[in-house]
């Protein structure tokens, strides 16, 4: 076991905290305080060092309107920001070390486990890549850079401005919604772009579950390179003992949220992984099968993090596996402000923990408009666009449909039948409409029960752009 792993494990044992799923520990007040401290440390660290969002704005946006049981605690826990070492610590108990989130180039912030020695942050996995010369990269022509990125829209400019203003008014498309960015690409160029006054085109924000669609795209790049067969067993390393029934779960099952695995929350709560500091292998790979694959849709983080976990294992679980998303996808299409974060063992948590800008998400959408071609190079397999939006046998009971890491709009939304979208908590949306040559990106800080309606906004934008 690596030296750092021994230290982490020792810290957990000393704290009297077994490595268990979140549901087994949540009744302990100490654990809840530890989760809240991890939540605060993670957001302050990632916002500050990935996106240039200072702690005051983090407190106003990311630390408000969160989970009901964490909200009262977040304001009471003091955070210490160490800019020189790019770390954030949050104390939560007198008898345990503080929670620590530490930043690394390209890989962003990783959260140490509860009870870990803060010195262990020095041993977090990294990748061997030089810092990007962002000014030089930005000077390239769009879409690789930012030069000559904009054009006049085809359609009714006045109507477009009216719809855009309503997207920011906090009521028209969702009472209490909070938009930070709206960007529209038409025929390959940006025809509309607006930000909340304290945001700009290079500021990265957490994607939440838009990360799942990004992960599906990374898997697509691996398929193009013949590293993955989506219809073959995924190969999650924790499942390889003889007789383990999870061995038959394929990458396709994982991308479609149809693995049949149990999870502690039917949705987007994996607190032990996101904020507790457990690793992907310890948390996501630990759940049993409760239904045959492809027979039940259960939207959860575990399936997606296991898909990228299996790919990393196939690549050796080392530096090459951590560099793959950058070299196979992000840097090839100009996504220079995109930071996929890892757990403390170096495994990507790409179900939610990706920081990126609105322009980088527009580039992702452009890749799908061209069905995976970029400057003449095939990044994704031909037909991958159809694959990710094609429904599998297991589907949500109502509302939008689900493909392989991307959503489709409900039939009654009145939108083009080829429209599909990435969808993340707090109002993160990337809408791709090939028949209209359109990509729509919306970022936000919507609170629970106050989300923006992406179908209504998309429909009004389409009308203005006709």
pLDDT at 10 over 60: no
Give the up-direction half-sphere exposure of residue 189: CA atoms within 13 A in the CB hemisphere: 10
Q: 294 with 403, same domain?
A: yes
Average pLDDT over residues 288-300: 96
Q: 221 with 359, same domain?
A: yes
For the sheet with 79-82, list strands across it. Answer: 79-82, 87-90, 99-104, 108-111
Q: 98 with 212, same domain?
A: no
Q: Is 136 within the bounds of a domain?
A: no
CA distances from 364 to 213, 340, 380 (A): 10, 14, 11
Give percent of the chain above pLDDT 70: 93
**Under DSSP, is residue 214 helix (H, G, I), strand (E, B) or coil?**
helix
Average pLDDT over residues 241-250: 97
Q: 95 with 228, same domain?
A: no
Q: Is 458 within the bounds of a domain?
A: yes
From its phi and psi, is residue 132 left (phi > 0), alpha (psi between -120 and 50) or beta? beta
Tens of pLDDT along 26-72? 434 899 999 999 999 999 999 999 999 999 999 999 998 888 889 88
Determine which of 87-96, 258-267, 361-370, 391-400 has the lowest per-residue pLDDT on average: 258-267
Average pLDDT over residues 305-315: 98
Q: Is 184 within the bounds of a domain?
A: no
pLDDT at 466 over 90: no
Average pLDDT over residues 263-269: 73
DSSP string, 13-70: HHTT-----GGGTTT-HHHHHHHHHHHHHHHHHHIIIII---HHHHHHHTTSS--TTT
What pLDDT band is residue 449 in, cutting at 50, 70 and 90?
Answer: confident
pLDDT at 307 over 90: yes
DSSP string, 188-208: TEEEEEEE-TT--TT--EE-T
Q: Is 150 within the bounds of a domain?
A: no
Q: 118 with 213, same domain?
A: no
CATH classification of the domain holding 360: 3.40.710.10
With contact defined as beta carbons under 8 Å apart, do 389 and 255 qualify?
Answer: no
Determine which of 20-34, 135-149, 294-308, 406-420 has the lowest per-residue pLDDT on average: 20-34
CA distances from 27 to 22, 33, 123, 168 (A): 10, 11, 32, 39
Average pLDDT, the chain: 92
Which single residue is written with the structure tokens 């803060």? Answer: 118
End-of-domain residue from the set 123, 143, 178:
123
With contact defined as beta carbons under 8 Å apart, do 371 and 385 qualify?
Answer: yes
pLDDT at 14 over 70: no
- pLDDT for the residue numbered 48: 97
Q: 108 with 252, same domain?
A: no
- pLDDT for the residue numbered 266: 66
Determine which of 9-13, 98-102, 438-442 has the lowest per-residue pLDDT on average: 9-13
End-of-domain residue from the set 93, 123, 153:
123
Helix axes 210-224, 319-328, angle to 10 degrees: 90
Average pLDDT over residues 143-159: 97
Tens of pLDDT along 161-213? 999 999 999 999 999 899 999 999 999 999 999 999 999 999 999 999 999 99
Q: Is 261 within the bounds of a domain?
A: yes
Q: 105 with 231, same domain?
A: no
Give percent of the chain above pLDDT 90: 88
End-of-domain residue from the set 70, 97, 123:
123
Q: Is 172 within the bounds of a domain?
A: no
- The alpha carbon of residue 305 and the mean position of all alpha carbons in its chain are separated, in whole angstroms, by 10
Q: 243 with 95, same domain?
A: no
Tens of pLDDT along 326-380? 999 999 999 999 999 999 999 999 999 999 999 999 999 999 999 999 999 999 9
The range of the structural domain enclosing residue 219 comes to 205-465
What pLDDT band is residue 267 in, cutting at 50, 70 and 90?
Answer: low
Q: Is 51 within the bounds of a domain?
A: yes
Q: 221 with 76, same domain?
A: no
CA distance 42 to 412: 39
Determine which of 61-70, 316-325, 400-409 has the lowest per-residue pLDDT on average: 61-70
Q: How many distinct structural domains can be found in the chain?
A: 2
Tokens in use for 174?
């969702």
Q: Is 166 within the bounds of a domain?
A: no
Average pLDDT over residues 229-242: 98
Strand-pair partners of 374: 377
Average pLDDT over residues 140-154: 98
- pLDDT for the residue numbered 35: 96
Q: 113 with 241, same domain?
A: no
Q: 118 with 212, same domain?
A: no
């Amino acid at each position: 076991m690596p030296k750092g792993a021994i230290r982490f494990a020792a810290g957990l044992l000393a704290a009297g905290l077994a490595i268990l799923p979140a549901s087994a520990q949540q009744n302990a007040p100490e654990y809840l305080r530890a989760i809240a401290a991890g939540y605060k440390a993670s957001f302050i660290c990632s916002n500050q060092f990935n996106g240039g969002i200072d702690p005051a704005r983090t407190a106003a946006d990311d630390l408000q309107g969160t989970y009901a049981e964490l909200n009262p605690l977040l304001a009471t826990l003091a955070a210490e920001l160490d800019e020189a070492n790019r770390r954030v610590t949050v104390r939560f108990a007198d008898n345990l070390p503080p929670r620590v989130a530490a930043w690394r180039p390209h890989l962003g912030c990783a959260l140490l486990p509860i009870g870990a020695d803060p010195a262990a942050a020095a041993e977090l996995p990294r990748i061997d890549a030089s810092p990007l010369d962002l000014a030089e990269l930005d000077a390239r022509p769009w879409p690789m850079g930012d030069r000559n990125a904009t054009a006049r829209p085809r359609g009714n400019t006045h109507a477009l401005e009216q719809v855009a203003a309503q997207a920011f008014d906090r009521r028209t498309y969702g009472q209490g919604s909070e938009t930070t960015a709206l960007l529209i690409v038409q025929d390959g160029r940006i025809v509309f772009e607006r930000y909340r006054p304290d945001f700009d085109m290079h500021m990265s924000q957490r994607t939440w579950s838009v990360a799942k669609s990004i992960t599906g795209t990374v898997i697509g790049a691996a398929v193009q390179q013949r590293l993955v067969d989506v219809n073959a067993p995924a190969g999650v390393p924790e499942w390889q003992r003889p007789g383990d029934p999870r061995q038959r779960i394929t990458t396709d099952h994982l991308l479609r949220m149809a693995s049949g695995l149990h999870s502690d929350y039917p949705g987007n709560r994996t607190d032990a992984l996101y904020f507790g500091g457990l690793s992907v292998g310890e948390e996501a790979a630990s759940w049993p099968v409760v239904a045959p694959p492809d027979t039940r849709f259960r939207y959860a983080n575990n399936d997606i993090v296991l898909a990228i976990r299996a790919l990393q294992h196939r690549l050796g679980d080392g530096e090459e596996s951590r560099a793959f998303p950058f070299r196979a996808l992000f840097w090839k299409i100009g996504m220079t402000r995109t930071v996929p974060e890892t757990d403390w063992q170096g495994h990507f948590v790409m179900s939610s923990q990706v920081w990126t800008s609105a322009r980088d998400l527009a580039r992702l959408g452009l890749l799908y408009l061209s069905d995976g071609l970029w400057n003449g190079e095939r990044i994704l397999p031909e037909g991958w666009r159809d694959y990710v939006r094609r429904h599998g046998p297991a589907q949500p009971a109502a509302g939008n449909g689900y493909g392989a890491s991307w959503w489709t709009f409900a039939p009654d939304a009145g939108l083009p039948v080829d429209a599909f979208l990435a969808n993340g908590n707090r109002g993160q949306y990337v809408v791709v409409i090939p028949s209209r040559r359109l990509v729509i990106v919306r970022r936000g800080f919507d609170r629970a029960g106050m989300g923006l309606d992406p179908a209504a906004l998309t429909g009004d934008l389409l009308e203005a752009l006709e």
